[in-house]
Structure 1
Amino acid sequence: MEHLKITATPADEGKRLDSFLASQADSLSRSRLKALILEGAVSVNGAPETDPRKPAVGGATYTITLPDPVPATPEAEDIPLDILFEDAHLIVLNKPSGMAVHPAPGSWDGTLVNALLHHCEGELSGIGGVERPGIVHRIDKLTTGVLVVAKTEPAHLGLSELFQAHDIERKYLAVTRGAPRPLSGTVDEPIARSTGDRKKMAVVRNPESGVGRHAITHYRAIETFGLRDKGTRLPAAALVQCQLETGRTHQIRVHMSHIGAPLIGDPVYGRHKGISSYGHGDAHIEGTKAARAFPRQALHAALLGFVHPITKETLRFEAPLPEDMSDLIAALRKLPKED
C-alpha cells in the first residue's frame, strides 16, 4: 500500500478537490482520484474526505492512500503474442485476426487482455486500481495489425490524452469492392449508431441534428485490380490506404461503404459477397473466387506512430500484411485489365 502526500498552496484554495489532486499527481487521472475520494482513501490533515467536489483548502495536506492492485477479473492465458516493442511502460503488438481485444459475450477467453495478463504477470502497476493492461484503442476482432497497450497508469493516462487529441499516426490497408471515386480524397462524415440496426454504425444523414460523432478518414487507392464491367472500365477492386484523423467505431468500414467502396469480406457493411468483375479465363475465376471466399473484412492496421508518453521518444511501428490479405491481393492482381 502506497501513501502520497500533497500540500495545497494558497493559490490552490477553492479548486475542486479531485481536479486539484489530479493536477498534482501525474500518475493518477481525475476519474481515478474521484473514485479514491469516494472510497475514503483520501484524508486532509488526518481526517477522511469523501466529497470530490469539496474545495481544496490552502495550506492543508492531503494524503492519498493507494491500495495494492487487485487481480483482474479475466483469467491470464498463455497465448503467443507477436510483440513489436515492449518496455516497462507499454507494449506494442501485431494482433492476429480472430482475437478480440476485450472479453465480451461470445469471446470470454482467448482475448488480447487474457494473453497480456499472462505475458505481463508481475509487471502491471494497477490501472484504475486493478492489475490489468490499459487498453486505449481497439481494432475489431477480425481486423489485424498494430495495437499499443499501457502497462502502467501514467502510460495509460498519457496514451489516452494522445488519442483524445488525435495526436497519433494511424494508417490502415483495406481491400475494397470496386474502387473509391475519386481514387484519393477525404471522407468527413459524422458517425452514429444506426437507427435501423443497433449493432451497426452509420453515417449521419442530418449532421445538424446533433447526433453522431465527428469522423474524418483520408484515403488513397494504392493499386486497382481488374475491371468491374466493359462499359465504364471502373476497377473491380482496389488496395486502399486509409489514414485516420479520428477513431470512431467501425470508422473505415462505414466510410468506405458510404462512398461506394465497401471492404471485401465485410459481413456487416459489405452489402454483397465478392466482387463484380469483367473478364474470362482461369485468372478471372481465381480472382473472383478469392474475393468471394475471403472470410473477414479485408482490413489491416499497418502503421502506428506516437510520442512515448513517458520517455518522449518518437515511436513508429509497421506490421506487414497478413498472409490471407497478401494471398487475396495476389489473386486480384491476376484479374484482366483489358478486354
Structure 2
Amino acid sequence: MTRLQNAAEFYARPPGVPEGSVVSAFRVPPEAAGARLDLFIQSQLRRTSRTRTQKIIKLSAYDESGRRLWPNDRVRADQTILLWRPPWDETEVPRDLPILHEDEHLLAIDKPAMLPVHPTARYYKNTLIKLLQAARPKEFLTLAHRIDRETSGVILIAKTRACDVTVKRLFEERDQVNKSYLAITWGVPSELSPFRCELPLELDPDSIYKVKMRIGQTADALTAATGFEVVGTRRRPTGEPYALVRCALETGRQHQIRVHLQTYGTPIVGDKLYGPDESYFALHADGELTDEHRARLELPRHALHAARIELPHPITGDPLAIEAPLPADMAEFWESLESG
C-alpha cells in the first residue's frame, strides 16, 4: 500500500472530493483478480472489519479515472484502487517518555503502552520517533528496534550513525542481546517452571487479519524460541487463575511471546488477537468494542511489558543493562487479584 500526502501530484481529485483529502493507492496483484472489492481492501487495511471496510469504500473508493467504486465490484489485475479520505485526526497518545539511560550515542526510553514507535497508516505524528524528533529537532535519532504499540517498556534509540549501525547489527545477530518481558496471563502454564517453547511461527493464512501468526505448519515456518518462568500466581475470588510470567526472547519473530503463550492455553490478558476472540482486533481498531467486550478483555491493552535489555554498549563495548519498572496499569491489575 502507498499513502500519498500530495495527491494532486499523482492523481486528479474526483469531483465532490474535498480539497486536502488524503489518498491511499492500492495496486491489485494478479492473484487477487476477480475478488470482491471489499474483501480485497480489507486484506490491505488488515486491522479493519468487513463492515467498516464496506463503509469506507462507499464513502471514498474510486478508480484512476475518478469513477466511483462499490463494495461488490470485482477487482482486476494491476488495477489501482484509490481511497480518498479527509485528513485523519490522529488518536491522542501518551506523551510522557521517561528516560532510562542516555549517553552521547544511545538513548533508552520507557515507552508507555498505546504509543506506536514509528509512523503507520493510522498514526503519523503521534509516534515515539516523531515525538522525540519534535522535542530534539537538531539531533540524529533512529529506532534501534521495535515493540508493539500496546506493549510497554524498554526501547533503544541510536543518537549517532555509528551507534545505529552497530546496535542494529547486535539485534540482528542476537547472541549478545538479552531481552526479557513480563506478561500477565489468563491461566497458569502447566509446565514446570522454568520451561522453554521452541515452536516455529508463520503468518496464519486462515485469519482475515494479515498480521496474525500461528504455530508453523509448513516448511517455510520461521524458527522461534522463548524461555518462560512463572514468577507468581493469583486468582479471582471466583477462582479464575492468572500468572505473572517472565519471558526471555531467544528469537525475535512477530508476536512470538503472545503466540507461544497462547499455545499453552494461557493467552495474555487483554490480547485482542490471540485472546478470547480474534474479531476483537478489528472491533478495537474501528472503535466498536462494547462494554461487554472490554469486560471480557479486562485490560484496554495486552499485558506485556519489555522489562529489561542487556547488551554490550554499541560504541564502548561495556556491559549495559537497562530496566523498566512494571507499569501502573499492569501492577494495579496484578495487585487487584488474590494471592494463591
> Which TM-score applies when normalising by structure 2?
0.63
Question: Residue deviations 1:241-269, cap 9 Å, x none?
Answer: 00011111111111111121100100000
Q: Give the Å deviation of 1:155.
A: 0.7
Cα distance in 2, alignment partners of residues 315 and 291 from structure 1:
40
**Once superposed, what is the RMSD of the aligned Cα atoms?**
2.5
1:257 is the counterpart of 2:269: no
**Counterpart residue number, 2:216:** 204
Matched, 1:85 2:101: yes
CA distance in 2 between counterparts of 1:333 and 1:114 reads 41
1:293 to 282, 287, 298: 298
How many pairs are equivalent?
Answer: 229
After superposition, residues 313-328 of structure 1 pair within 5 angstroms as: 313-328=318-333
Does the 8 Å contact 1:265/1:295 carry over to 2? yes
Going from structure 1 to structure 2, the CA distance change for 1:145 and 1:175 (only over 3 Å counts) comes to same
The 1:227/1:324 distance shift into structure 2, 3 A limit, reads: closer
Q: 1:271 offset after TM fit, Å?
A: 2.2
Q: Are the counterparts in 1 of residues 187 and 241 from structure 2 also a CA contact under 8 Å?
A: yes
1:160 corresponds to 2:165: no
Residue range with higher mean Cα deviation, 160-169 or 113-122: 113-122
Q: Which AA in structure 2 matches 1:205?
A: Q
User: CA deviation digits over 1:173-203, x for unaligned, max 9?
Assistant: 0000101120421111111111112221111
Unaligned runs of 5+ in 2: 1-92, 279-293
Deviation of the 1:290 alpha carbon = 7.8
Distance apart, 1:169 and its partner CA = 1.4
Q: Is the 8 A contact 1:174 1:240 kept in 2?
A: yes
**What's the secondary structure of 2:109's corresponding residue?**
strand
Mapped partners of 1:78, 1:254: distance in 2 = 27
Query: Could you say which residue in structure 2 is the equivalent of 1:171?
Result: 180
Cα distance change, pair 228–245 in 1 and its aligned pair in 2 (3 A): farther
CA contact under 8 A between 1:80 and 1:115: conserved in structure 2? Answer: no
Q: Look up the match of 1:94.
A: 110
Instruction: Identify the residue that residue 130 of structure 1 maps to in structure 2.
Output: none
Q: Tell me if 1:216 matches 2:225.
A: yes
Instruction: Check conservation: 2:235, 2:241, Cα contact below 8 A.
Output: yes
Inter-partner Cα distance in structure 1 for 2:196 and 2:236 = 24
Q: Show structure 1 runs of 4+ deviating over 3 A.
A: 77-80, 227-230, 289-292
Structure 2 match to 1:225: 234
Q: How many angstroms apart in 1 are the aligned matches of 2:150 and 2:325?
A: 16
Contact map agreement 1:88 1:123 (CA 8 A) in 2 = no
> In the alignment, is residue 190 of structure 1 matched against residue 171 of structure 2?
no
Deviations 1:103-162 (A, max 9, x none): 1011112101111212332221xxxxxxxx322211110110001111222111111111
**TM-score of the superposed pair, with normalisation by structure 1:** 0.63
Offset at 1:227?
7.6
In structure 2, C-alpha distance between the alignment counterparts of 1:80 and 1:330, rounded to whole Å: 24
